[in-house]
Structure 1
Amino acid sequence: MKKLVLTGAAGRLGSYLREPLTKMCDELVSTDMVADIGKTLPGETYVQADLGDLSALEAILAGADMVVHFGAIGDEAEWDAILHSNIIGAYNVWEAAYRQGVRRVVYASSVHAVGMHLKTDVIGLDAPHKPDTYYGLAKCFCEDLASLYWDKRGVESVCMRIFSCAQANNARALGTWLSYGDLIHLVERSIDTPVVGFTKVYGISNNDRVVVDNSKAAHLGYRPKDNAEVFAKEILAKTPPLDNKDLANLCIGGPFATVELGNSGVAGLGVVDDRKKI
């Protein structure tokens, strides 16, 4: 491809995508709200932009083949903040993509669009939306937005429902872990699959204790290789018995299932900020 755009390039997950994406195109345009992203890679340029600015996004997406959209608040937050970054910002991405003739949006959706479903249900991709927070509700909106823009305007989308893409350091992660290597593989397959239309896929590794069924996304060719079971002995040795009546343990959204609306869910996950240094 000639040009790819990556939103959210300054974020933790974005930091792992920048280098692989430069290998898939002649020009990678990375964008985020920070003034300076630091060192750029060969073939990469950086543009500071607010997702709330449609005209800025139109300029950035001009001539792009696809946009990999990871820019958003990555946690539960107050409604006004979620509305601006995660809902209006996403609308602007799809609308700018349509106006500029961009073929496909590869979108960082989330487990939290279906976070109130039980782990023991092992839901498929046809399970109804069941958000656990404003953050999850925004992901539901964006998935429906992606579906609408495919049906009415011909913009393809892959909505990757990302699970626990961080260091596996808690019992929940044994079933929900997504390694950085598998994240990169998923994004690559979402880009290089010839035709996707509107596709949903669970962003989760090949865990023995996997909590969802990804079979209806087989056409993407996403075949995760990593397995959180390698961490099981160490994690379970330090984990006391879990309360089997606590929704944070029962639901696939984990602590997002029990936090008050507007309050951080990530705070209960012990996420390590191990973003990749360029």
Structure 2
Amino acid sequence: MKKLVLTGAAGALGSRLRGPLKKMCDALVSTDIVDDIGALQDGETYVQADVSNLDAMLKIIEGADMVIHFGAIADEAAWDDILQSNIIGAYNVWEAAYRCGVKRVVYASSVHAVGMHKKTDTIGLDAPHRPDTYYGLAKCFTEDLASLYWDKRGIESVCLRIFSCAPATNARSIGTWLSYDDLIHLVERSVDSPVVGFTIVYGISNNDRAVVDNTKAGHLGYRPKDNAEEFAKDVFAGAPPLDNTDLANLCIGGPFATVELGNSGVAGIAQMNTGGDD
């Protein structure tokens, strides 16, 4: 491909995608709201911009083959903040993609679009939306936006419902872990698969205790290799007994299932990692 655009290039996950994506194209345009993202690769440029600005997105996306959209608030937050960054920002990306003739958008959706489903249900990709936060609600909106733009305007989309893409250090993560290598593999398959239409896939590694079923996304060729079971013995040995009446332990959204709307869910995960109450 000639040109790829990566939003959220300064983020915890976006920053890990810059190198792999540059190998897939002649020119990579990375964008985020920060002043600087450090050293650039050959063929990579950085443009500081906010996804909530449609004119800025139009300029950046012009001439792109695909957009990899990871730019948004990555936690529960106040409604007005989620609205601007995660909802209006998503509309701007798809609308700019449509106006600029882009073939496909690869989107960082989230488990939190279905976070209130129970772990024991082992839901598939046809499970209905069941968001756990405003953050999850914005993911639901964007998945539906992607579906609409495929049905009405022919823009392909792959929506990656990313799970716990961080070191597996708590009991929940043994079932929800996504390794960084598997994340890269998932994004690569989402970019280079010849035909995807509108696809949703769970971003989760090959965990023995996985809480969802990815069978219906087999056409992507995503074959995760890593398994959180290698960490299970140590993690379980150091974890306190879980309260099996706590929605943070029962639901696949974890602590996001119990936080008050507008309050950080990431803070609850941090408590889990230190042995505190969710």
Q: Taking structure 2 as the reference length, what is the TM-score of the superposition?
A: 0.97
Question: Is residue 2:230 matched to residue 1:234?
Answer: no
> Aligned partners of 1:145 and 1:176: how far apart in 2?
26
Amino acid at match of 2:105: V
Amino acid at match of 2:81: A
Amino acid at match of 2:242: L
Amino acid at match of 1:217: A
Structure 1 partner of 2:40: 40
Amino acid at match of 2:85: S
Structure 1 partner of 2:275: none
For 2:158, what is the secondary structure of its paired residue?
strand
| 1:42 Cα deviation after fit | 1.3
Question: Is residue 2:23 matched to residue 1:8?
Answer: no
Question: Is residue 2:195 matched to residue 1:195?
Answer: yes
For 2:45, what is the secondary structure of its paired residue?
strand
Q: Which fold has the larger relative contact order, with Cα–Cα distance below 8 Å and residues 6 or more apart in sequence?
A: 1
Amino acid at match of 2:121: D
| 1:17 Cα deviation after fit | 0.2
Q: Taking structure 1 as the reference length, what is the TM-score of the superposition?
A: 0.97
Amino acid at match of 1:191: V
| 1:104 Cα deviation after fit | 0.2
Structure 1 partner of 2:115: 115
> Aligned partners of 1:201 and 1:89: how far apart in 2?
21
Structure 2 partner of 1:160: 160
> Aligned partners of 1:136 and 1:75: how far apart in 2?
9
Amino acid at match of 1:23: K
> Aligned partners of 1:42 and 1:208: how far apart in 2?
40
| 1:206 Cα deviation after fit | 0.1
Amino acid at match of 2:193: T
- 1:31-58 CA distance string (max 9 Å, x none): 0000111111111100000111101100
> Aligned partners of 2:266 and 2:41: how far apart in 1?
30
> Aligned partners of 1:266 and 1:223: how far apart in 2?
28
Structure 2 partner of 1:204: 204
Where do residues 179-194 of structure 1 align in structure 2 (5 Å cutoff)?
A: 179-194=179-194
Amino acid at match of 1:104: R
Where do residues 53-92 of structure 1 align in structure 2 (5 Å cutoff)?
A: 53-92=53-92
Deviates further, 130-139 or 37-46: 37-46
| 1:270 Cα deviation after fit | 2.3
| 1:241 Cα deviation after fit | 0.9
Structure 2 partner of 1:276: none
> Aligned partners of 2:38 and 2:5: how far apart in 1?
17
> Aligned partners of 1:210 and 1:52: how far apart in 2?
35
For 1:128, what is the secondary structure of its paired residue?
coil
| 1:230 Cα deviation after fit | 0.6
- 1:1-31 CA distance string (max 9 Å, x none): 0000000000000111000000000000000
Count of aligned pairs: 271
> Aligned partners of 2:259 and 2:56: how far apart in 1?
35
Q: What's the RMSD between the two structures over aligned residues? A: 0.7
Amino acid at match of 1:205: S
Amino acid at match of 1:28: L
Give aligned-pair identity as a percent: 80
> Aligned partners of 1:36 and 1:237: how far apart in 2?
42
